Amino acid sequence: MAKRAKLTREQKLENHSASEQSRRDATLELEAELKELSGYKGSTEKRAILMGHIADWLGQIVRENDELEDMVLQVALEQSMSNVSRGQDQQQQ
C-alpha cells in the first residue's frame, strides 16, 4: 500500500475550512426546512427561539396524534360493541 503524502499546514486549514463551511450550509438548509414545515415566520438569528418554536410545534403534533389515536380506538370499540349487540339480536331471533 502506497504511503500518502503528508498535508501541509495550509492544506489542513483549507480542508478544515471547507468541512466547516459544508457543516454550516447543511445546518442552515435544515433550519430553513424546519422553518417552512412548522410555519415559523420569525427571524432565525437566535437559534434558541427557532428551536423552541420547533419543539412546541412537534409537541402539538404529538398531542394531536394522541387525540386521533384515542378517536380511532373509540370508533373501534363502538363498532365492536355494535357487532356484539347485533350478534345477540340474531341469536334471540
For residue 43, give the C-alpha cell.
427571524
Tens digits of residue pLDDT in 25-59: 999 999 999 999 999 988 767 888 889 999 999 99
In this model, does residue 17 exceed pLDDT 90? yes
In this model, does residue 90 exceed pLDDT 70? no
H helix or E strand, kind and range, residue 13: helix 9-38
Average pLDDT value over all residues in the chain = 89
- Check if the beta carbon of residue 53 is closer than 8 Å to that of residue 42: yes
